[in-house]
């Protein structure tokens, strides 16, 4: 089945992309850029220019990219072929790892172990990551660590197995942090439970090995990461945890069709860890007959402990307890920690029926049918590679690409959602020219860097707060509509001077001088109304915002028709404590008139932030306008509101379009 669906891709690995949008495009680009254009083993410079990003935050297979950098040079097509081949081979590598694991349980019969290993590899939740999170697809690393742990237990001299276990765990960490956490966490828990139960430290050696691999990874980042201000309170922990239905209801396949026929079930994509109807039937049979599973009790306990983490427990019950283990906040999709539970459940089911041929055949067939449905769907995601095999004309002395519409989807604290076509055009142009882009897509950008980018390009009337780039940039325009403030600032050039690039979706490309960056497109009038609260302790409102909080009533009954701007000046001691679920809203009754996300509209002045939202006022509408602070749950940081102002805004006369917009050929 795998060969039938993916085999043809091996004939053209360098000319296809496994998933052409979102995560797939970005994770392909981070790898091929690093291999072809990267000038550092630890820094990725292809996005978020001029800051770049640490390689371990890019989902870019850091160890494999470093190996290819050291053995290069490589072309884009060659780098793409290596990435695609390694990603596709993750499925047979997982089958091989399960086969070796079955042998540690005493199963020597090839006719039973091999088909079951292949079918179980199809069932792994990581298979869905063929659609974008390529590094996460290597579940064979976790299964291999489990097998090595069992091998080490059976040897009188396990030193060699321990060394292999350390190396494989470290490899998992430097492939993807979640893979490393699953592998090290499982081994640590199995070894820790056994050592505690047997009351001897002799069984704790694998636990120390796991801690050493964690220390290696964390130490590497501590020494090499030069980006300050990483977000401390990401909200993904609260949005990416799983529920029990994520384990018993599939995303696709025949069982999903049956479930949908009975009633729609909502699933969390990041938490999907479906174990399969065949596995569930065997486990229920074991429970009814009160028979033990075919795996060790410590392995079951370790998998269950990780399953609780995947459910967000116990922190969902006692959120304050998360402060005792803040490292878990950094795993913004904790639902993935159910993947070891899915693997253990499958191995337990195999162990229970391996000596009952007909039951084993039914189990394997169920895995092939349900897992095959996922593989079949994943095989349809591939598309021709968007990357070019030709050179592009580049204007002189440009230091970065500025994609329009602009995207900076990298920090939960400050983000501007991506536009798919703009990101694809910018990605293709960047890879073809070696010029980095200022946009960021699905990387983990430090908060001050995200602020600097969005203060300049994410709000009306940008300012170069903290953006250390004084050289010209290359505006690359896609056909998608610009945001209002972008359209006022980057006027479409006449057809006579447009210079679109030979990239699908690109409508124009031109050099942009930094002298134009600080120009404002709208002129603000004097204050019409304001409330100032500097004299009050902590401002007019202080606290950790939760839900909808009415702040002030803005009088509009005497305003003439026109466009107005409401500014809210606020401060917080922990900027990373807020995220893209926090917004200032203007409400007229129950209707939302306008809103401002801090990441989209903020000018930073020392410790104060100014969020600006604009609205159009007409005669005959309700006179009052309510300013409402809306925030999602689980905020730890406190916010203080100091001042609210209302101004009239009017368009600035168009600038001279000739000097900075002269065409280049």
**Chain mean position to CA 513:** 33
Tell me which range, 47-61, 326-340, 580-594, is most confidently predicted by mean pLDDT: 47-61
Measured CA to CA, the distance from residue 377 to residue 442 in angstroms comes to 23
Angle between helices 90-104 and 110-123 (to 10 degrees): 130
Q: What are the pLDDT digits (tens) for 97-116?
A: 999 999 999 999 999 999 99
With cut-offs at 50, 70 and 90, classify the pLDDT of residue 515: low
Task: Return the structure tokens found at 259.
Answer: 């479930």
DSSP structure class, residue 468? -
Residue 40: how many other CB atoms lie within 10 Å = 14
Q: Is the pLDDT of residue 604 over 60?
A: no
Indicate the helix (H) or strand (E) that contains 4.
helix 2-6
Beta-bridge mates of residue 572: 639
Q: Which residue has the tokens 């069932």?
A: 123
590 Cβ contact partners less than 8 Å away, ≥ 6 residues apart: none
Contact 365, 120 (CB under 8 A): no
pLDDT at residue 92, as a whole number: 96
SS3 category, 641 = strand
What is the greatest pairwise CA distance in the chain? Answer: 88
Give a three-class secondary structure readout of 287-356.
Answer: HHHCCCCCCCHHHHHHHHHHHHHHCCCCCCCCHHHHHHCHHHHHCCCHHHHHHHHHHHHHHHHHHHHCCC
Residues in contact with 613: Cβ distance below 8 Å, sequence separation at least 6, in sequence order: 565, 566, 584, 586, 594, 595, 596, 601
State the pLDDT at residue 525.
65
Instruction: Compute how many other C-beta atoms are within 10 angstroms of the C-beta atom of residue 340.
Output: 28
- How far is it, in rounded angstroms, from Cα 347 to Cα 293? 9
Rounded Cα distance between 579 and 581, Å, is 5
Least confident window among 104-118, 249-263, 379-393, 460-474: 460-474
Helices 357-378 and 110-123: crossing angle in degrees, nearest 10, is 40
**pLDDT top residue among 296 and 533:** 296
Q: How many whole angstroms from its chain centre is CA 159?
A: 37
Average pLDDT over residues 207-221: 97
Residue 105 has a CB neighbour count (10 Å cut-off) of 17
| Portion of the chain with pLDDT greater than 90, in percent | 52
* Spatial separation of the C-alpha atoms in residues 216 and 194, rounded to whole Å: 24
Question: At a CB cut-off of 8 Å and minimum separation 6, what does 535 contact?
Answer: none
Each residue of 103-150: pLDDT tens digit? Answer: 999 999 999 999 999 999 999 999 988 888 899 999 999 999 999 999
What's the pLDDT tens digit per position in 309-330? 999 888 888 877 777 777 777 7
CB atoms within 10 A of CB 266: 8
654 pLDDT above the threshold of 70: no
At residue 177, the pLDDT reads 94
**CA distances (Å), origin 441, targets 84, 429, 445, 523, 586:** 20, 15, 9, 32, 29
Q: Give the integer Cα–Cα distance in Å for 149 and 194.
A: 12
Tens digits of residue pLDDT in 230-264: 877 666 667 788 999 999 999 888 888 888 888 88
CA distance readout (Å), 199 to 192, 196, 333: 10, 5, 34
Tell me how far apart the alpha carbons of residues 258 and 250 are, in angstroms, rounded to a whole number: 10
**With 60 as the cut, is the pLDDT of residue 526 above it?**
yes
Lowest average pLDDT, out of 182-186, 236-240, 579-583, goes to 579-583
Higher per-residue confidence, 340 vs 410: 340
Local structure of residue 9 (DSSP, 8 states): G
**609-630 mean pLDDT:** 80
468 pLDDT tier (thresholds 50, 70, 90): confident
DSSP 437: B
655 has a pLDDT exceeding 50: no
Measuring CA to CA, how many Å separate 469 from each of 373, 398, 491, 494? 49, 11, 22, 28
Summarize the chain as % helix, strand, coil (round to 5): 45, 15, 35
Other residues' Cβ atoms within 10 Å of the Cβ of residue 260: 11
> What's residue 662's pLDDT?
35
Given a cut of 90, whether residue 189 has pLDDT beyond it is yes
> CA-CA distance, 65 to 79, in Å (whole number)?
9
Check whether 531 has a pLDDT greater than 60: yes
Pairing of strands 440-441, 408-409: parallel
d(CA 335, CA 332): 9
Q: Give the number of other CB atoms < 10 A from CB of residue 660.
A: 14
DSSP-derived letter for residue 392 is -
The residues that bridge with 441 in the sheet, in sequence order, are 409
Output the pLDDT for position 85: 96
Under a CB-based contact definition with an 8 Å cutoff, are residues 579 and 447 in contact? no
- For the segment 188-217, the average pLDDT, to the nearest whole number, is 93
Q: What pLDDT does residue 110 have?
A: 94
At residue 77's C-alpha, the angle toward residues 75 and 79, to 5°, is 70
Residue 556 scores a pLDDT above 70:
yes
3-state secondary structure at position 546: coil
Q: Tell how strand 522-532 and strand 639-651 pair up.
A: antiparallel
Does residue 601 surpass a pLDDT of 60?
no
Is pLDDT above 50 for 656?
no
Q: For the ranges 12-26, 248-262, 389-403, 631-645, which has the lowest average pLDDT?
A: 631-645
**Greater confidence, 47 or 621?**
47
Tell me the whole-structure pTM to 2 decimals.
Answer: 0.85
How far is the C-alpha of 206 from the C-alpha of 149, rounded, in Å?
A: 7
pLDDT for the residue numbered 457: 81
Find the DSSP H helices in 336-463.
Answer: 339-353, 357-378, 420-433, 447-457
Q: Once rounded to an integer, what is the mean pLDDT over residues 371-389?
A: 92
Helix/strand number for the chain, H first, E second: 20, 19
> Secondary structure of 111-151 in the HEC alphabet?
HHHHHHHHHHHHHCHHHHHHHCCHHHHCCHHHHHHHHHHHH
Residue with tokens 């969020």: 611
pLDDT at 554 over 50: yes
What confidence score (pLDDT) does residue 660 get?
40
Q: Which residue has the tokens 């956490």?
A: 181
Containing 164, the helix (H) or strand (E) segment is helix 159-173
Residue 434: is its pLDDT beyond 90? yes
Q: Average pLDDT of the chain? A: 85
Res. 533 pLDDT band, cuts 50 70 90: low
Is the pLDDT reported for residue 659 higher than 60? no
């Amino acid at each position: 089945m795998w060969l039938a669906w993916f085999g043809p891709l091996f004939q053209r690995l360098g000319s296809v992309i496994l998933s052409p949008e979102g995560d797939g495009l970005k994770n392909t680009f981070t790898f091929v850029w690093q291999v072809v254009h990267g000038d550092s083993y630890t820094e990725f410079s292809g996005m978020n220019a001029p800051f770049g990003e640490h390689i371990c935050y890019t989902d870019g297979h850091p160890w494999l990219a470093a190996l290819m950098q050291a053995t290069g040079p490589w072309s884009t097509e060659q780098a793409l072929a290596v990435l695609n081949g390694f990603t596709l081979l993750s499925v047979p590598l997982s089958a091989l790892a399960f086969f070796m694991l079955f042998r540690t349980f005493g199963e020597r019969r090839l006719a039973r172990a091999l088909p079951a290993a292949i079918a179980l590899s199809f069932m792994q939740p990581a298979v869905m990551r063929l659609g974008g999170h390529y590094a996460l697809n290597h579940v064979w690393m976790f299964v291999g660590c489990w097998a090595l742990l069992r091998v080490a237990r059976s040897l009188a001299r396990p030193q060699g197995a321990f060394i292999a276990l350390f190396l494989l765990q470290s490899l998992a960490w430097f492939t993807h942090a979640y893979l490393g956490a699953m592998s090290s966490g499982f081994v640590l828990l199995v070894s820790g439970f056994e050592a505690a139960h047997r009351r001897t430290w002799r069984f704790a050696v694998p636990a120390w090995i796991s801690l050493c691999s964690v220390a290696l990874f964390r130490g590497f980042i501590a020494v090499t990461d030069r980006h300050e201000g990483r977000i401390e309170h990401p909200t993904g922990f609260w949005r990416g945890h799983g529920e029990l239905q994520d384990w018993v209801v599939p995303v696709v396949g025949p069982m999903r069709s049956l479930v949908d026929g009975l009633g729609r079930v909502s699933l969390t994509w990041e938490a999907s860890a479906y174990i399969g109807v065949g596995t569930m039937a065997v486990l229920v049979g074991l429970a009814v007959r009160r028979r033990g599973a075919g795996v060790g009790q410590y392995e079951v306990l370790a998998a269950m402990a990780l399953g609780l983490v995947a459910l967000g427990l116990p922190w969902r019950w006692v959120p304050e307890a998360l402060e005792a283990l803040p490292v878990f906040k950094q795993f913004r999709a904790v639902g993935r920690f159910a993947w070891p539970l899915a693997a253990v459940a499958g191995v337990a089911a195999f162990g229970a029926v391996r000596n009952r041929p007909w039951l084993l055949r039914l189990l394997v067939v169920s895995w092939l049918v349900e897992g095959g449905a996922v593989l079949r769907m994943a095989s349809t995601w591939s598309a021709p590679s968007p990357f070019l095999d030709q050179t592009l004309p580049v204007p002189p002395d440009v230091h970065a690409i500025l994609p329009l519409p602009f995207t900076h989807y990298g920090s939960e604290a400050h983000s501007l959602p991506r536009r798919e076509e703009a990101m694809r055009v910018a990605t293709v142009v960047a890879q073809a020219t070696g010029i980095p882009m200022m946009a960021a897509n699905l990387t983990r950008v430090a908060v001050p860097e995200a602020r600097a980018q969005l203060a300049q390009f994410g709000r009306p009337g940008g300012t170069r707060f903290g953006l250390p780039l004084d050289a010209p940039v290359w505006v690359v325009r896609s056909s998608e509509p610009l945001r209002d403030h972008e359209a006022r600032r980057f006027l479409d050039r006449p057809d006579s001077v447009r210079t679109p690039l030979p990239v699908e979706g690109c409508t124009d490309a031109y050099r942009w001088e930094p002298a134009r960056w600080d120009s404002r497109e709208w002129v603000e009038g004097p204050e019409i109304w304001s409330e100032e609260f500097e004299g009050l302790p902590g401002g007019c409102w202080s606290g950790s915002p939760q839900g909808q909080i009415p702040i002030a009533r803005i009088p509009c009954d005497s305003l003439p028709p026109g466009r107005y701007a409401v500014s809210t000046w606020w401060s917080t001691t922990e900027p990373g404590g807020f995220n893209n679920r926090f917004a200032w809203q203007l409400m007229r009754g129950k209707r939302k008139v306008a809103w401002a996300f801090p990441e989209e509209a903020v000018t930073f002045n020392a410790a104060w932030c100014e969020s600006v939202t604009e609205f159009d006022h007409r005669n005959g509408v309700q006179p009052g306008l309510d300013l409402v602070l809306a925030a999602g749950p689980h905020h730890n940081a406190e916010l203080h509101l100091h001042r609210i102002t209302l101004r009239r805004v009017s368009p600035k006369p168009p600038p001279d379009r000739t000097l900075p917009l002269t065409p280049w050929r």
